[in-house]
Structure 1
C-alpha cells in the first residue's frame, strides 16, 4: 500500500510544500512573497470582460493591476463585452499563456481580488487528508531534494533503465530507455519497464507541475494495450478529474491529456536558457546563510555570489536580518559564476 507524507518548509520569502509517495517526492508547491495573488490557483476575483471571440469560444478578462485571463465559454452561455463577473482561477499562467478562469457568478464594480487562493498549508491538507504536516529541518531537506529532482531531465527507473522527460511548447515528451535493465525474458523485461515508466511518469509530472498533452514513447513491440491502459489509469488517477488516456498507437506511443492547474515548477525555478533564475539562486543563498547561522549562534557570516544574485537576494536578506540579526554580509563578485554560492564564518 502506498504511503504519502507531507512536509512544509516555511523559509525566508518562500514557502515550499512537499508530498512524498513511498519516500520519493510527488508534489512540490511553491509560494513566494512576491507572487501575484490575482493569478494563483483558486483565487476569486471580480473581472471585466474586455473582448469576446465566438470563433474560439473564449473571452478575455481584465483582472486589474494590468493582469489578464481567459474564460472559455459554451455557445449558449456567451458572455457580454464590458460586463463584470465573479471568476475563479482554474489554471495559472505559463510560458506566455494567460491564466484560465471559470465564471462562478455575476459581479459589479471594478476588477479586484475578492479572496486569495489557499495557502501552501491549506493546499497540502486538501491533497493529503488526515496526515500530520512535518516542518523544520527535515522539511527543508525534503524540499531541497524535491527541487533537485524536479530540475532533472533524466530519471532512473526502478529496476533499471531511465526515463527522460522533456517539455516543449506543444507537448511533453517522455522517452523510456531500458538501459542495462536485466532479465532472461525480454518481453517480460520490457513489460515491467513500461509499467514502471507509467508509475514514475505520473509521479514526476505531478512533481514538475506539467500538464497538457503528454506523449510517452514505450519500449518494445507487441504491447498489451489493455494492461497498459489499466496501469495508466491507476498511475494518473490522482490527477483526475480531467485526465484522458489514449490507446497505445502503432508506433508504440501512448498519448495522455492531463489538466493544467499550476504553473510548471521548471518555469518558476529556471530562466529561458535552462539555467536557474536569479530568484531561485537568491533563495538558495539565503537558506545557506540561515543554516550556517543556526550552526554558528552569534557568529558573523560572509557570503559571496554573482551581482545579479546579490541583487535578487536584497529583499530576502532584509527579511533574514529581521529574524537572526544583521550578522551577515553578502558580497557581489562580478567574476563569480552565477551558480556558485559561498557562505563562511567571517
Structure 2
C-alpha cells in the first residue's frame, strides 16, 4: 500500500511544502512573499466581465486588483454582458505567456470583491496527507532539496531497470521510455514491465513538476496490450482527476493523455525563460546555506560568495530576514564572473 508523508519548511522568503509517495517526492508547493495572491488556484470572488469573445466561446474577467482571466462559456451558463458581474473560482493560475482560467459559479452580486483566498501551503498538505502533522526543520529542508533536484532532472530510473526522459515543450510533454538493462530473453515481457513502471514513475514526476496538458508516452516494444496499459494509466493518474483523459495506443507505439493544469510548472520558479537558473531561487538557496552554516558554527563570522545577480536578489529580498535569524555576522561577496548557480558559504 502506498504511503504519503508531508513536510513543511518555513525559510527566509519562502514557505515550501512537500508530499512524498513511498519516500519519493510527489508534490511541491511554494509560496514567496512577493507572489500575487490573486493569481492562484482556489481564489474565489465576484469579477467584472471585461470582454466577451464569442468566436472562442470565452470571456475575459478580472477580480479587483487581479489579472485578466479566461472564463470558458458554456451553453448552460446565463448570458453574460460586458461590464456585468460573475462569481468565479480560479481553476488554473497563469503561467508564462498564458492567462489563468476561471470556473463559473454563479451570476455576480454586489460589487467586485475577493470572497475566498487560495488555500495555504499547510492546507494543501492536509488535503493530500490527512494523517498527522507535517515534518518540519532539517527533515523538511532535506525533502525540499530532494524535490527540487528531481524537478530539475530529466532522466528518471525505473524500478527493475530502464528509465524515462520527461521533457516539456510549448505544445506537450513527452515521456520517452527506455528499456535499458531490463531487456532479456523475453523481450516482450520486459517491454511490458518497463511500460507499466514508466506510467507509475511518470505520474509522480509530472505531479511534482506541475506539468499538465497533453502528455505523449513513447512506449518501448511492439504489440502492446492496449487495454492493460490504458487501464494502468487511468489508475496511476487517478489522483489528478477530474479531467484526466487517456487515448489509445497508436500504430507508432505512442500513447496520448490529457492531464489538467492546475498550477504553473515549478520550473517557472527555478529557471528563467531561457532555461538558466533563476537568481531569485538561487538567492533562497544561499539563505538556506547561511542558516545551515550558522547553526553548525554558532557565533562564527560567515562569508558567502555568489554571482552578482544572486547577490542583488538576496540583498533586496532576503538579507534582513537572514540577519533577524543569525544576526549581522555574515557578508555576501558578489563574483562578477560566476555562473548563477554557483554558491560558496564558509565560516571564518
Query: TM-score, normalization: structure 2?
Result: 0.96
2:322 match: 320
Counterpart CA distance in 2 for 1:141 and 1:111 is 42
2:235 match: 234
64-73 vs 166-175, greater mean Cα deviation? 64-73
Q: Secondary structure at the match of 1:291?
A: helix
Q: Is the 8 A contact 1:279 1:312 kept in 2?
A: yes
Query: 1:5-20 counterparts in 2 under 5 A?
Result: 5-20=5-20
Q: Is the 8 A contact 2:49 2:82 kept in 1?
A: yes
249-258 vs 315-324, greater mean Cα deviation? 315-324
Counterpart CA distance in 2 for 1:319 and 1:249 is 54
Q: Secondary structure at the match of 1:75?
A: coil
2:41 match: 41
Q: Does 1:61 align with 2:94?
A: no
2:216 match: 215
Q: Quote how far apart the aligned CAs of 1:76 are.
A: 4.1
Q: Secondary structure at the match of 2:320?
A: helix
Question: Could you give the per-residue CA deviations for residues 123-162 of structure 1, whole angstroms, max 9, x where no partner exists?
Answer: 0101121233111100100110010011111111111111
Query: 1:67-146 counterparts in 2 under 5 A?
Result: 67-77=67-77, 78-107=79-108, 111-146=112-147
Q: Quote how far apart the aligned CAs of 1:323 are.
A: 2.2
RMSD value over aligned CA atoms? Answer: 1.4
Question: Could you give the per-residue CA deviations for residues 84-106 of structure 1, whole angstroms, max 9, x where no partner exists?
Answer: 22221110111210011112234
Counterpart CA distance in 2 for 1:103 and 1:233 is 27
2:4 match: 4
Distance 1:220 1:340, change over 3 A: same
Q: Is the 8 A contact 2:183 2:191 kept in 1?
A: no
2:22 match: 22
91-100 vs 44-53, greater mean Cα deviation? 44-53
Q: Secondary structure at the match of 2:287?
A: helix
Q: Quote how far apart the aligned CAs of 1:111 are.
A: 4.3
Q: Secondary structure at the match of 1:59?
A: strand
Counterpart CA distance in 2 for 1:325 and 1:53 is 55
2:336 match: 334
Q: Quote how far apart the aligned CAs of 1:73 are.
A: 1.5
1:281 match: 282
Counterpart CA distance in 1 for 2:193 and 2:342 is 41
Q: Quote how far apart the aligned CAs of 1:63 are.
A: 2.8
Q: Is the 8 A contact 1:157 1:197 kept in 2?
A: yes
Q: Is the 8 A contact 1:57 1:75 kept in 2?
A: no
Counterpart CA distance in 2 for 1:336 and 1:276 is 12
Counterpart CA distance in 2 for 1:270 and 1:109 is 41
Question: Which runs of 5 or more structure 1 residues have no equivalent in the other structure?
Answer: none
Q: Secondary structure at the match of 2:148?
A: helix
Q: Quote how far apart the aligned CAs of 1:108 are.
A: 5.0
1:169 match: 170
Q: Quote how far apart the aligned CAs of 1:118 are.
A: 0.8
Counterpart CA distance in 1 for 2:116 and 2:284 is 28
Counterpart CA distance in 2 for 1:82 and 1:298 is 60
Counterpart CA distance in 2 for 1:58 and 1:321 is 49
